[in-house]
Structure 1
Amino acid sequence: QDQGRDWERYALIKARCIAGDMASGEVLMKTLRPFVYRRYLDFSAIDSLRDMKAMIQREVARRNLNDNIKLGAGGIREIEFIAQCFQLIRGGQEDALQQRPLQVILNELRDMELLPAPVVQELQEAYVFLRNTEHAIQAWRDEQTQQLPDSAFPQAGLAHSMGFDSWADFHTVLKQHRERVSEHFANVIAAPEDEANTDHSALAHWETLLDQPEQEALRDELQNVGFSDAEELARRLVALLESSAVKRMEGTARERLDDFLPRLLEQAQDAEDGGRAVIRLIPLIESVLRRTAYLVLLMENPAALQRLVTLCDASPWVSRQLASHPALLDELLDGHNLFNVPDKEGLRSELRQRLLRIAQDDLESQMDALRYFRLAHVLKVAASEIGGTLPLMKVSDYLTYIAEVVLEAVLDIAWQNMVEKHGSPAVDDPRRHFVILGYGKMGGIELGYGSDLDLVFLHDVPGGAVTDGERPLDGNIFFTRLGQRIIHILTALTRLGSLYEVDMRLRPSGNSGLLVSSFNAFAEYQNAQAWTWEHQALVRARVVAGDAVLAANFDALRAEVLGRERDPDALREDVLNMRDKMRKHLLPGGGEKNREFDVKQGLGGIVDIEFMVQYAVLAWSHQHPPLHTYTDNIRILESLQQEGLISEADARALIEAYIAFRSQSHRASLQEQKGQLSGEVLVEERAAVRRIWTQIFGEQSA
């Protein structure tokens, strides 16, 4: 653990206890696992593999072993190196790669799409051919050798034993296999693609400036090459290099940092604001000083470094995410995947595959897998928005899809855990009898980057039901504990943080109510006790995970409650009073402050549009049922126009204003800014919202 060399990590991949105290042997191998398989992506394995391959090549040349089918070019060892390289890079994160059999590992690499299927097939075919050849060579005189024979008689014997009519035919096929292996091996350990185009003199110049950094000299050079805020950047770089954490670095780790910083500065010169980008990246560098393999990842993949600089230049939120979770740097390796998010079914399939590789009773690993999945895909959404490949409306869609897929998986894990301990609720119908409702932005399919989840839990198991396990529970207690388990999985802090912040205050009776309500009690509450604002919230409520039968019953109840005829004057007064309370509580002064406009709460902002939509659904759904079909504001506004309740021009004005406001809100999130804009921004949109507000609620409410 303290002095082990890279070649020993390679060797230990194949190691297993074969005799003696097997239990102690297993303890030893488990203890050594973190040495072999790092918890982070370890691209330093490629560089050490290059060194090991160079040593082998020198030995092959010295001992004239070119015809050695194990050590020579395209031989067995290169196939093993390919597999082991991926094992060392990713084995700490993918337990499936911590296996010994090479053929099994190759299949895993194919299934994880780390190697193309045709490449894996060629490597497997070559491996079988080369191993059979090795056996045939060793069977000739019962010798431990992998050297091809150099005389005619044993050559003919080898060819015959391998099923060929002649040595020439055998050697042709052998050569084809070895050439393919050699090509694939070279692709794996190839030097970075643009290494040949690198300006090494420029790198050397930066290395000299950073070796014993003088802040003024560094500032002058940063200014010369066009960096903004050169004074602050120079100060931050000097502070980094003179920090105690850097001074404690030794050997390889310090060399990696010294190699990386010049490459970062060179790359940043092509950014829109290189100085800003590097300043935002310094916290990431500080966070990986003890795990400099992440720096190797970026040096081995210059395109990933370029994407990193671009994204951090565009968004401090992205840079903070990466500094907090450097493992996400893995997502920068594939530009196509980074800027193209999968659809909901693709998300669901990917998460299912991740969780299938984890033991069902390993809750900690399941929670880490869920958190990484969410972090990685939210990063992809941000990258796609920054890169212009994902429009605003799709950004919220995908952030909501990610949350839905995560909630489905969390429910599955929590359900499995509860059923193993207590059995299923003992009712004739084997369905789950449980749903998760999404309210607010979750219900309205409008999640942002930092949104929490407004959730409500319902079940419909009859009273008196008891689970059928060895430790039976009353049905109500079973579902309460299920809800608690779901919240724990969502909110528990692990090394990757929490999944989501959860708000349960919209359940019946709020924080004083039951964590999980029965459907009948929920229906009774909505029909007899709920306040108008709770019916407003119901406009944006929908089932996001759980049992299909109960989901259909909820949809019917929601339609019934929203479609009830109401006193228009009383409804108008309730809605206006609630809006007034909200504005006074969340926006002191009730309007613009310091000539700024609050995108969400300001006059003519997002919440004003939401309140108009909610009022319209509650006031007119009894005559126009299509109004309560959807939970998102834009489709409800389209329904209002289609039902002739507002003009096409007004519907379009509200939709365009809503999109503009949400676009500003997303942009503020990526810039880690509050939703405060200059009072001179979006003036026409705000005026249109206030004009239509007056039309709906009357002059007095304006």
Structure 2
Amino acid sequence: MTSENYSNKALPALVSSSAECYWQRLIETGFDPEACLTSEQSQELKSILGLSDFVATQLCRHPDWIPLLFEQGLSQLDRQQFMPELKLALESVTTEEQAKAKVRQYRNLQMVRLAWRDFMGYVSVQESLLDLSSLAEALVIESRDWLYGVMCQQYGTPSDSEGNAQPLLILGMGKLGGRELNFSSDIDLIFTFPEHGETVGGRRALDNQQFFIRMGQRLVNLLDQVTVDGFVYRVDMRLRPYGDSGPLVVSFSALEDYYQEQGRDWERYAMVKARALGPWSNYSDELHSLLRPFVYRRYIDFSAIDSLRKMKQLIAQEVRRRQLTNNIKLGAGGIREVEFVVQSFQLVRGGREPALRQQSLFAAIQTLYDLGQLEYLAVDELKHSYILLRRVENLLQALDDKQTQTLPDNELDWQRLCFAMNVPYAEELKQQIDEAMARIHDHFDATVGEDSSRPQSAHWTAQLWEIFDDQDALALLAEQQIEDDSLWHNLRDWRDSVARRSIGPRGRETLDKMMPKLLEELIVQNQSPDVFAPVSKVLDQILTRTTYLELLCENPGARQQLVSLCSASPWIAKQLARFPMLLDELIDPSQLYDVTSLDDYGSELRQYLLRVPEEDMEQQMEALRQFKLSQQLKIAAADVTGVLPVMQVSDHLTFLAEAIVEQVVNQAWLQVSTRHGVPDNLKGGDKGFAVIGYGKAGGIELGYGSDLDLVFLHQSDVNGHTNGDRQIDINHFYLKLAQRILHLFSTRTTSGELYEVDMRLRPSGASGLLVSEIERFGEYQREEAWTWEHQALVRARFMFGDNALSTRFSVIRSEVLALERDKQTLAKDVRDMRIKMRDHLLNVDSGFVDLKQSRGGIADIEFLAQYLVLANAAEYKDLTTWSDNVRIFAALAELEIISIPMAQQLTHVYCKLRNESHRLTLQGLPGTLPFEQVEQEMASISQIYLDVLG
């Protein structure tokens, strides 16, 4: 359809009504269309006002743009002019506030032009995406160049050892790198520079990396900050090496080292589209050359398909967790699946076929046809379906400049879409979208996917699910030589309760397909009929979430794990019932039992958070909780199957908590520092803040339901202030940081609370400061703390913070533990505290023992370790090294303070009791056992306790 037809086309009723409202707003600004527009131009203007809220809002704010847009022409656009026009606009600018205003106003004017062209059918979607990408690139590069000039005047020019000026190179990732950016996308960038060195010509030399980190921070702020003129782009820097925890800018050599040594599969995928933005240079060549070996292997690399398959599985998991519906990007057959099909070929064959090493999907798909890798029909269907979805996506985002891929939930926006797509009715457009996505998904399954659907031969469990008569059901079970009729009674009662619930026709159909398969799994595993009860509780929670029913229906591995884990552990069954999103973890048994290595929890969590918009704090908090739950499930699954011994279970639960503590502190820091700045005495990326773990966290002995005993410390000049717009004194800053950390831990989201945090072990307990300056903490421990506080310090361990604070805390802890003490007085204090604790906490039925609080239990062993350290550390400083009981006992034996048999007995009983405690937790039972089961072990500890403490 020609542009003339579009502009003369009658608007649908709701669009026309919206156009009239905006037209009146425009007239009220004083704009007179008759004075500067022809009647055809007025009609076209009215049309675009009704079609896009973004365009209408901008034009009502800037009516002077209207004659300019018509004068410059809407059907023609020279994207090569973006950079010179921006450069000219920024030439006279002297402050960042002025620069922000200039680039935002230019961005908004051009985005209005591009949306107008899109809605009125002036351009193909390929042209539109190229225009949007060129505009984004111009805005990023001209902002960079202006800022570079300003900073060189301020700090001098960053130079290498030979005096050559060093530039900041920017890698555009994703669709920006492929020159196929959508209308309201955020932009993923990576900043890098060629060589280390320092600035030349400033008042004092500054390290190149520090210069570029400062520049990067200011550039992100220049583009990302929301002002009265809006923002330029939401900038996401989390694809850089090490994500949020890595430096904002690294050198070429550091970039190369990272990808050679630590680059992940998903980073290879992301790098396919990476492109150095701006005018090409020798540095651009060098950068692409050093990245190429990481992305494209020399051989044909079929491992890439499995990596993409896993990434797609993660995306499907995210769609389920966030309950995304009608999503044309992430859903089955969406935009992402086309990208996966094309990029699977690029990653597999790009090492051998240089022609495939390109960022543009349109160019890559044509190359695949030219190379004979894709048939004409596949190319044609993928290309046309992709174009349809990209056009719909672009229009969806141009409605109100919002990043969305979800189809409208209101009639007005459907009418707007239909008008722009030249389709008469919403139902017809929906059908075109559905057909396009179905075609894409077929090609995805053929290339990357694993079609898990398989023809099901009729199984007798299908009859059992459909039977309503008791006698018929019991006869069928008898035929299968199943004599226990409780399975039938449990099933019948549950099915009756389900019949009274509203789960919709699709849910009912999926349930009818899934239940025979699940019952078959119960029988195959020869599980007790009792296991149906916890399984049914999981099903109760997902009956109205059909995607999870489909997951169980289509994944034999997930069904198998659901049954076996519910049978092995009521605690796991309860977790699955409370948090159905954990069912995603059951799909691949090899992944489920492949517990994250202790050193990798931090990097795994950082990667996990990359999927969540950094600015969306609610989603960030939910993601932290989901990560914790999914990792805990893996640990528990490995625990109940004997893959992990008890000592390692606690190690994993503790290191998981450490990784979460790190991210919570980083998020809290970002929120507080964005508002107030940071303490003005800090250097580099230091925070001057530490988290100390006490109790089980300190002793590396966390259990599944453990809370975190934490103490917060800081190291700062108490008279200083923060350096932000809203300055506050440093003590107040760290108080706000501590409050924010506790808020992030305790807030209940859909996935519950992150951890319960207990701060009562801080100096002066509940009445003390929430965060202490480290030297004041040391003074308190030396001069005011009670014996029980020194006992607690034995189990204290540095969990997060700067190296300087870690070193200082270790010195203070060692000095305090090594104070001279009278052993008789110490023994009395420890005994009195133990009696007080037992009187307060022990509550157990006759004939049973509490594994922790009863005589000879875990607490007695812990008190023994604490007493022996405090009594002997003045003479043997090595005793202050460890915070966990097992290594404390080993050290005591090595120093001959206790005998080797005594140390072995303490360690053996301690591990056994903790093992039993873990087992009971997983069985959903309290931590008590019949006395006779542990009588011998606990009696031996009671005797040792008596011998040592009297």
TM-score, normalised to structure 2, is 0.56
Match of 1:380 among 634, 653, 669: 634
**1:454-603 to 2 correspondences below 5 Å:** 454-588=709-843, 593-603=845-855
Quick one: distance in 2 between partners of 1:537 and 1:84? Answer: 47
| DSSP-derived class of the 1:469 partner | coil
Q: Which residue of 2 aligns with 1:280?
A: 534
Instruction: Flag the 1:511–1:273 CA change in 2: closer, same or farther, 3 A.
Output: same
| DSSP-derived class of the 2:605 partner | helix
Q: Which residue of 2 aligns with 1:293?
A: 547
Q: Which residue of 2 aligns with 1:323?
A: 577
Asked if 1:207 corresponds to 2:465, the answer is yes
Please state how far the C-alpha of 1:636 moved relative to its aligned partner. 0.2
Q: Which residue of 2 aligns with 1:185?
A: 446
Please state how far the C-alpha of 1:557 moved relative to its aligned partner. 0.4
Match of 1:445 among 670, 689, 700: 700
Confirm or deny: 8 A CA contact 1:599 1:677 kept in the other structure: yes
Instruction: Flag the 1:189–1:557 CA change in 2: closer, same or farther, 3 A.
Output: closer
Please state how far the C-alpha of 1:217 moved relative to its aligned partner. 5.2
Q: Which residue of 1 aligns with 2:886?
A: 634
The amino acid of 1:204's aligned partner reads: A
Quick one: distance in 2 between partners of 1:227 and 1:84? Answer: 41
Match of 2:858 among 606, 616, 630: 606
Percent pairwise identity: 38
Quick one: distance in 2 between partners of 1:469 and 1:678? Answer: 61
Confirm or deny: 8 A CA contact 2:747 2:753 kept in the other structure: yes
Instruction: Flag the 1:472–1:132 CA change in 2: closer, same or farther, 3 A.
Output: same
Confirm or deny: 8 A CA contact 1:227 1:274 kept in the other structure: no
Q: Which residue of 1 aligns with 2:9?
A: none
Quick one: distance in 2 between partners of 1:85 and 1:446? Answer: 33
| DSSP-derived class of the 1:680 partner | helix
Confirm or deny: 8 A CA contact 2:682 2:688 kept in the other structure: no
Quick one: distance in 2 between partners of 1:582 and 1:528? Answer: 24
Please state how far the C-alpha of 1:223 moved relative to its aligned partner. 7.3
The amino acid of 2:578's aligned partner reads: S
Confirm or deny: 8 A CA contact 1:322 1:328 kept in the other structure: yes
Confirm or deny: 8 A CA contact 1:539 1:631 kept in the other structure: yes
Instruction: Flag the 1:427–1:556 CA change in 2: closer, same or farther, 3 A.
Output: same
Please state how far the C-alpha of 1:543 moved relative to its aligned partner. 1.2
Please state how far the C-alpha of 1:201 moved relative to its aligned partner. 3.3
Q: Deviations over 1:367-391 (max 9, x none)?
A: 1111111000000000011122111
**1:85-100 to 2 correspondences below 5 Å:** 90-91=318-319, 98=329
| DSSP-derived class of the 2:751 partner | coil
Q: Which residue of 1 aligns with 2:672?
A: 418
Quick one: distance in 2 between partners of 1:553 and 1:563? Answer: 15
The amino acid of 2:466's aligned partner reads: T
Q: Deviations over 1:208-246 (max 9, x none)?
A: 32xxx3456546756775779743x54443333223665
Match of 1:337 among 577, 585, 591: 591
Q: Deviations over 1:13-69 (max 9, x none)?
A: xxxx99963337999xx9xxxxxxxxxxxxxxxxxxxxxxxxxxxxxxxxxxxxxxx
Q: Deviations over 1:404-454 (max 9, x none)?
A: 000001111110111111000111545211111110000000000000001
The amino acid of 1:647's aligned partner reads: S
Instruction: Flag the 1:91–1:586 CA change in 2: closer, same or farther, 3 A.
Output: closer
Confirm or deny: 8 A CA contact 1:253 1:292 kept in the other structure: yes
| DSSP-derived class of the 1:506 partner | coil
Instruction: Flag the 1:492–1:203 CA change in 2: closer, same or farther, 3 A.
Output: same
Bigger shift: residues 552-561 or 291-300: 291-300
Q: Please list every run of 5 or more consecutive structure 1 residues that lacks an aligned counterpart in the other structure.
A: 1-16, 31-79, 138-144, 148-180
Please state how far the C-alpha of 1:345 moved relative to its aligned partner. 3.0
Q: Which residue of 2 aligns with 1:395?
A: 649
Please state how far the C-alpha of 1:508 moved relative to its aligned partner. 1.1
What is the CA RMSD across the aligned residues, in angstroms? 3.8
Quick one: distance in 1 between partners of 2:363 and 2:861? Answer: 67
Instruction: Flag the 1:670–1:353 CA change in 2: closer, same or farther, 3 A.
Output: same
| DSSP-derived class of the 1:432 partner | coil
Please state how far the C-alpha of 1:270 moved relative to its aligned partner. 2.8
Please state how far the C-alpha of 1:664 moved relative to its aligned partner. 0.3
Confirm or deny: 8 A CA contact 2:329 2:335 kept in the other structure: no
Quick one: distance in 2 between partners of 1:107 and 1:469? Answer: 42
Instruction: Flag the 1:393–1:428 CA change in 2: closer, same or farther, 3 A.
Output: closer
Asked if 1:615 corresponds to 2:615, the answer is no
Q: Please list every run of 5 or more consecutive structure 2 residues that lacks an aligned counterpart in the other structure.
A: 1-46, 58-181, 183-307, 373-378, 382-441
Quick one: distance in 2 between partners of 1:120 and 1:594? Answer: 72
Q: Deviations over 1:513-559 (max 9, x none)?
A: 11111112211211111110110000000111112211211111000
The amino acid of 2:644's aligned partner reads: L
Quick one: distance in 1 between partners of 2:939 and 2:51? Answer: 80
Quick one: distance in 1 between partners of 2:367 and 2:610? Answer: 34
Q: Deviations over 1:174-214 (max 9, x none)?
A: xxxxxxx979617625244xx46x652313322332xxx34
Q: Which residue of 1 aligns with 2:53?
A: 23
Confirm or deny: 8 A CA contact 1:82 1:188 kept in the other structure: no
The amino acid of 2:51's aligned partner reads: D
Confirm or deny: 8 A CA contact 1:119 1:184 kept in the other structure: no
Please state how far the C-alpha of 1:602 moved relative to its aligned partner. 1.1
Instruction: Flag the 1:92–1:667 CA change in 2: closer, same or farther, 3 A.
Output: closer
Confirm or deny: 8 A CA contact 1:480 1:516 kept in the other structure: yes
| DSSP-derived class of the 1:550 partner | helix
Confirm or deny: 8 A CA contact 1:97 1:105 kept in the other structure: no
Bigger shift: residues 509-518 or 377-386: 509-518
Alignment: residue pair count: 580
Q: Which residue of 2 aligns with 1:259?
A: 513
Q: Deviations over 1:81-115 (max 9, x none)?
A: 9999986664465899947998976777999xx99
Q: Which residue of 2 aligns with 1:307?
A: 561
Quick one: distance in 2 between partners of 1:598 and 1:253? Answer: 46
| DSSP-derived class of the 2:690 partner | strand
Asked if 1:237 corresponds to 2:491, the answer is yes
Quick one: distance in 2 between partners of 1:689 and 1:646? Answer: 14
TM-score, normalised to structure 1, is 0.75
The amino acid of 1:243's aligned partner reads: S
Instruction: Flag the 1:122–1:208 CA change in 2: closer, same or farther, 3 A.
Output: farther
Q: Which residue of 1 aligns with 2:366?
A: 131
Quick one: distance in 1 between partners of 2:491 and 2:940? Answer: 49
Instruction: Flag the 1:531–1:24 CA change in 2: closer, same or farther, 3 A.
Output: same
Match of 1:680 among 925, 932, 938: 932
| DSSP-derived class of the 2:933 partner | coil
Q: Deviations over 1:496-520 (max 9, x none)?
A: 1111111111111111111111112
Match of 2:948 among 692, 696, 701: 696
| DSSP-derived class of the 1:359 partner | coil
Match of 1:654 among 890, 906, 930: 906
Quick one: distance in 2 between partners of 1:439 and 1:504? Answer: 10
